[in-house]
Structure 1
Amino acid sequence: MTGEHQNKDAKNPIWSYIVIAFFGLLFAKILLDVLLVGF
């Protein structure tokens, strides 16, 4: 079971990068909004 799961993850490394990039951009946008409103 674990071997199968690792295989699946190895086949789709792009999705993890997309999720990381999405949350990174979301965090950056919130940070910019806070800075713009704060100052």
Structure 2
Amino acid sequence: MWAYFKTVYRFVFDTESGDYVAYASMHEEKEEKLGDNWFG
């Protein structure tokens, strides 16, 4: 039996500055903002 993890990542980009904010939700739970070091 295989364990699996359903994680959805959402990125919100600022087209002028190039900055972005990343959010993640696991197993269809509430979305949480990720820290800067996740995809830095």
TM-score if structure 2 supplies the norm length? 0.21
Q: Does 1 or 2 have the higher relative contact order (CA < 8 Å, sep 6+)?
A: 2
Bigger radius of gyration: 1
Higher helix share: 1
TM-score if structure 1 supplies the norm length? 0.22
